[in-house]
Amino acid sequence: MPQSHIMPGFRPALGFTLFYLALIVLIPLSAMLLKTLQLSLDQFWDILTNRRVLTSFKVSFGAALIAAAVAAVLGSVIAWCLVRYLFPGKKIFDALIDLPFALPTAVAGIVLATIYEPKGWIGKWVMEAIGVQIAYKPLGIVFALIFIGLPFVVRTIEPVLQEFDSAMEEAAASLGANRWQAFINIILPNILPAAITGFALAFARGVGEYGSVIFIAGNMPYVSEIVPLLIITKLEQYDYAGATAIGLIMLILSFVLLLSINGLQWWMRRRNGQL
Amino acid sequence: MSAMNPSFSHRAKPLTLNDSAWVRYTLILISLLTIGLFLILPLATVLIAAFAKGWSTYSSSLAEPDALAAMRLTLLTAAITVPLTTVFGVSAAWAIARFEFKGKNLLITLIDLPFSVSPVIAGLIYVLIFGAQGWLGPWLSDHDIKIIFAVPGIVLATLFVTFPFVARELIPLMQEIGHEEEEAALSLGASGWQTFFKITVPNIKWGLLYGVLLCNARAMGEFGAVSVVSGHIRGLTNTLPLHVEVSYNEYDFVGAFASASLLAGLAVVTLVVKTFLEWKQKQDLKAARQAAAE
Amino acid sequence: MSISLSNISKQFGAFKALDNINLEIPEGELVALLGPSGCGKTTLLRIIAGLEQADQGDVFLKGNKVTDQPVKNRQIGFVFQHYVLFRHMTVFDNIAFGLRVKPRKQRPNETEIRDKVHSLLHLVQLDWLHDRFPDQLSGGQRQRIALARALAVEPSVLLLDEPFGALDASVRKDLRLWLRHLHHELNVTSIFVTHDQEEAMEVSSQIVVLNHGKIEQKGTPSEIYDQPQSDFVSRFIGQTNVFRIEDDDHDWLKSTGIIVDDPQGVVAHVRPHNISVEKTADPGNSPVYLKDWQHLGGTIRLELNRDGHNGSATTIYAEMPNEQFKDLALHKGDRVALRIKHAHWFN
């Protein structure tokens, strides 16, 4: 259906939208770009190749990558169970999935630290059973980011599974496929784009996450210091240039991730439309 | 949707189409363990830790002046940011869902941008503009205007992080509902505002409330961005999440978890209302689709 | 003139939806805009309403140029294809909407609104539904409520987009006649869009046939049917048998009465009822036999096969009254002779 040209209010609505977008988002973000441009290329390079900075990038990216992968697997299983099986309390579990969206990150941070610290409920048990310390180590960061990433994966896969036509499974079975073959050949190819999108969303969020991580991370420079914390540390030391340079890299990364996620979602929609 | 009851599924469907019992129970077990460890246990821990030293310690730590000031500031921040984000969301959705124009997809991407920017960056950009060494810093200090380490900075950072919340709920919803009812109202002589308030708003109300609800949760709970611009001045620029951090770092665990329990309560209420709104909106859309199909 | 359009054109991207449309519609007519889907009829209706802007050309309502007027100032009533009742309002509130959104000075008070709504509900014979919501109504009821809602503002022109398109066949029949009678009663200039030629013939006083964004013909139903001015109109309205004179068997055509020696055109279109069928005296020589026949109520449609020419069989349709068919006492397979009483010629 062609869009109607007779709807009123186009100019004021678009005008206000652009004005507010510029005021709150675009101008402040370009301020950061301008600040970085004041640095010479050498200065910029020095800041980024500093060993502490490099390590923090490694920690942030590594932890976010591992956490997103774990969340993608666990989240897929949860989405599968929520859509396909019936079990007591399913509705409540389903609603709880969004808790990491709704729970303020500071609360998540102190709670996760309390549970997984060496003396905490789970932390103590894991320590005694297999001798692994979770909190105040990079592993703690991974745990916090799994918490953060889980709902992204579940909520991306769930609708795809719901719309998935199980007649395709029946068709596969009628052609002689066993359950495992049906899963590998029919179900997996259909939910894979959603799982990858969920993974990317969890990763993007994880790289920039601050509140839920800093309490459990231990924040040891060169070991468990994440990039967002390093930015704050630099700010507190009035090293605006350093903070900005690191921030710009993070911002560019967000942009790239956002565009690739948009691409992924477009790909997903197209696939679903075709199938 | 094919939801199958484990205990009956063998009769309901032939085995080839269903997962065998051990697969089902293993997957459900993994799910429940994950949900238990990552979602339920943390929620329970908040309450247990908050009441670790009894009700009276809990209530007195919430009645502390600093805690009360933090609550007031959190409410104030939400009271300013939620309406602004809502007005922005509605006007963005109106422009995007009702009109065709060049650069629309870019605009949608830019609206989503604050979602993927680290909250720390959200704070940083305002420090670069309004901070003591920022672009406007000298001018602001000459005129004795405080933005960073003060309430305006907190509001600005919160506006940034809540920016997409209402818009991204409304855009797909309004596109799905379509503009036919609005056209009908215009053809009956209604003005633009009459059409908006009498037709558009009733049609999008559940989605709108949904966006407002999530926006409010984020506005009250934002930590990273606010942390950068607030300066952590007790009793003045600490929001409730910042008060949680300060108390925790000072080893006042009961105080930290008492404040945290309020925020966790907010999260639970948000989830309950959210589930209700999702149900309502689904019903509305179903009815609309049926009506269109007949 | 109640409605007059001059040089209306509209383009959607590369697609020319309307191409220089000129049309005059006198007061009180009930006009059908008829054409196949994609012919531009709905776009034209929406341009008259002001729901769409024409790229060029002007719209006049009651002699006033309204091209630049928004829809709310045009005093039109528009009935949407899928009714588009406001889902969150009762039937009563739906009908009252147009009155309640009037500027305060012109707005009737609540008692007047109530009287008006109830008289409209009475008019569409659905008084008892006033407190229902649209979801609780049947398709036909929704259609009548949508009409009542459009009439509430006392429009000077009533525009209906495929008003019966979404209804069951039986409900459609009833509503067509009802609309015709209602129009008699109200005498509001009305235009409705349809792709169903039967519906256009049955309901309207004037038909405008559109194709590819252009007006093919305008006239009363009988003018359109009896004197089609183009090949397209003749094919589109009613059933037609088409004979291409050049590549057809001239001897046979002559035997049916078509003038072959000095034809008036390239193709002859013959309505089924313009073919009379007789038992032939010389069955060995007739290429036409009765293949099948169908009851259409008062008339019988004969499906005649004509074998032979160019090795392919063609089907010719003829129609005759029941009684006549009975008298002929034809059986399937019987050879027949045809007489063509009247043909329309086109180039």
More confident residue, C309 or A196: A196
Q: Which ipTM value was assigned to this complex?
A: 0.90
- Residue C173: pLDDT band by 50, 70, 90 thresholds? confident
Max CA separation in chain B (angstroms): 80
* Contact across the interface for A173 and B17, Cβ inside 8 Å: yes
A248-261 pLDDT, tens digit each: 999 998 889 888 88
* Closest chain A CA to residue C11: A2
Q: What is the pTM of this model?
A: 0.84
C201-236 pLDDT, tens digit each: 999 999 999 999 999 999 999 999 989 999 899 989
Residue B76 belongs to what H/E stretch?
helix B65-98
Treating both helix axes as pointing N-terminal to C-terminal, what angle do A27-37 and B119-130 enclose, rounded to 10 degrees?
70
C178-197 pLDDT, tens digit each: 899 999 988 899 999 999 99
Considering only CB atoms, which chain A residues are within 8 Å of C45? Answer: none
Residue with tokens 């009363």: C220
Say which amino acid occupies A89: G
Looking at chain B from residue 251 to 270, which residues have their Cβ under 8 Å from any Cβ of chain A? 256-257, 260, 263-264, 266-268, 270
Considering only CB atoms, which chain B residues are within 8 Å of C77? Answer: 187-188
Distance linking the first and last C-alpha atoms of chain A: 23
Tell me if chain C has a CB within 8 Å of the CB of B185: yes
- What's the Cα-to-Cα distance from B278 to each of B206, B271, B282, rounded to whole Å? 8, 10, 6
Residue among C200, C142, C149, C145 at smallest CA distance from C168: C142
Task: Divide the 294 residues of chain B into consecutive groups of 10 and give the mean pLDDT of each group.
Answer: 38 54 90 92 91 88 91 96 97 94 91 90 92 86 88 95 95 90 92 93 93 95 93 85 93 91 94 91 77 60
Please tell me which of the candidates A29, A108, A204 has its beta carbon nearest to residue B42: A108
Q: B284 CA to chain C: closest CA distance, Å? A: 9
Q: Counting beta carbons within 10 angstroms of the beta carbon of residue B229, is it exposed (0 to 12), middle (13 to 18) or buried (19 or more)?
A: buried
Residue among C290, C325, C283 at smallest CA distance from C305: C290
Considering only CB atoms, which chain A residues are within 8 Å of B238? Answer: none
Considering only CB atoms, which chain B residues are within 8 Å of C84? Answer: 180-181, 183-184
User: CA-CA distance, C183 to C204, in Å (whole number)?
Assistant: 10
Looking at chain C from residue 58 to 77, which residues have their Cβ under 8 Å from any Cβ of chain A? 70-71
Q: B49 CA to chain A: closest CA distance, Å? A: 9
Q: C20 CA to chain A: closest CA distance, Å? A: 20
b vs e for B86-102, b when ≥16 Cβ sit within 10 Å of the residue's Cβ? bebbbbbbbbbbbbeee
* Contact across the interface for C86 and B181, Cβ inside 8 Å: yes
**pLDDT by residue for chain A (275 residues), tens digit each?**
334 467 888 999 999 999 999 999 999 999 888 888 888 899 889 988 999 999 999 999 999 999 999 999 999 999 999 998 888 888 899 999 999 999 999 999 999 999 998 888 888 888 888 888 888 888 999 999 999 999 999 999 999 888 877 777 777 777 767 777 878 888 888 888 889 999 999 999 999 999 999 999 988 888 889 999 999 999 888 888 899 999 999 999 888 988 888 888 888 777 765 44
Please tell me which of the candidates C77, C80, C101 has its beta carbon nearest to residue B194: C101
**Which site among B180, B187, B204, B284 would you substitute to test the C interface, given the most C Cβ atoms closer than 10 Å to its Cβ?**
B187
**Strand runs labelled E in chain C:** 3-12, 15-25, 30-34, 56-61, 64-65, 76-79, 157-161, 189-194, 206-211, 214-219, 241-244, 267-270, 275-279, 288-295, 299-306, 314-321, 336-340, 344-346
Asked whether A78 and A152 are in contact (CB, 8 A), the reply is no
**Which site among C15, C47, C51, C162 would you substitute to test the A interface, given the most A Cβ atoms closer than 10 Å to its Cβ?**
C51
pLDDT at residue C36 tops 50:
yes
Residue among C71, C35, C30 at smallest CA distance from C191: C30
In degrees and rounded to multiples of 5, residue C245 shows phi and psi of: -65, -45
- Residue C249: pLDDT band by 50, 70, 90 thresholds? confident
Asked whether B114 and B161 are in contact (CB, 8 A), the reply is yes
Say which amino acid occupies A2: P
Looking at chain C from residue 200 to 239, which residues have their Cβ under 8 Å from any Cβ of chain A? none
Q: What average pLDDT does the structure give for chain C? A: 88
Residue C261's pLDDT is 67
Asked whether B4 and A86 are in contact (CB, 8 A), the reply is yes
* Contact across the interface for A6 and C12, Cβ inside 8 Å: no
Give the single-character DSSP code of B37. Answer: I
SS3 per-residue string spanning chain A: CCCCCCCCCHHHHHHHHHHHHHHHHHHHHHHHHHHHHCCCHHHHHHHHHCHHHHHHHHHHHHHHHHHHHHHHHHHHHHHHHHHHECCCCHHHHHHHCCHHHHCCHHHHHHHHHHHHCCCCHHHHHHHHHHCCCCCCCHHHHHHHHHHHHHHHHHHHHHHHHHHCCCHHHHHHHHCCCCHHHHHHHHHHHHHHHHHHHHHHHHHHHHHHCCHHHHHHHCCCCCCCCCHHHHHHHHHHCCCHHHHHHHHHHHHHHHHHHHHHHHHHHHHHHHHHHHC
* Contact across the interface for A5 and C52, Cβ inside 8 Å: yes
Which 3 state secondary structure label does DSSP give B222? coil
Give the single-character DSSP code of C107. Answer: P
Q: C82 CA to chain A: closest CA distance, Å? A: 14
Q: C151 CA to chain B: closest CA distance, Å? A: 9
**Which site among C79, C84, C161 would you substitute to test the B interface, given the most B Cβ atoms closer than 10 Å to its Cβ?**
C84
- The neighbour count for residue C125, using CB atoms within 10 Å, is 12
pLDDT at residue C317 tops 70:
yes
Residue among B81, B155, B77, B163 at smallest CA distance from B115: B163
Say which amino acid occupies B58: Y
Considering only CB atoms, which chain B residues are within 8 Å of C97? Answer: 185, 188, 190, 198
Tell me if chain C has a CB within 8 Å of the CB of B256: no
C94-135 pLDDT, tens digit each: 999 999 988 889 899 999 999 999 999 999 989 999 999 988
**Planar angle of CA A222, A225, A230, nearest 5 degrees:** 105
Residue with tokens 């994880």: A206
Considering only CB atoms, which chain B residues are within 8 Å of C50? Answer: 187
In this structure, the strands spanning C3-12 and C76-79 are: unpaired
Handedness of CA A238, A244, A246, A250 (dihedral sign): positive
Instruction: Report how many Cβ contacts below 8 Å link chain B to chain C.
Output: 72
Q: B194 CA to chain C: closest CA distance, Å? A: 7
Asked whether B206 and B284 are in contact (CB, 8 A), the reply is yes
Tell me if chain A has a CB within 8 Å of the CB of C103: no
Q: A4 CA to chain C: closest CA distance, Å? A: 6
Considering only CB atoms, which chain C residues are within 8 Å of A6? Answer: 50-53, 70-71
Asked whether C194 and C32 are in contact (CB, 8 A), the reply is yes
* Contact across the interface for C12 and A2, Cβ inside 8 Å: yes
Please tell me which of the candidates C72, C86, C166 has its beta carbon nearest to residue B186: C72
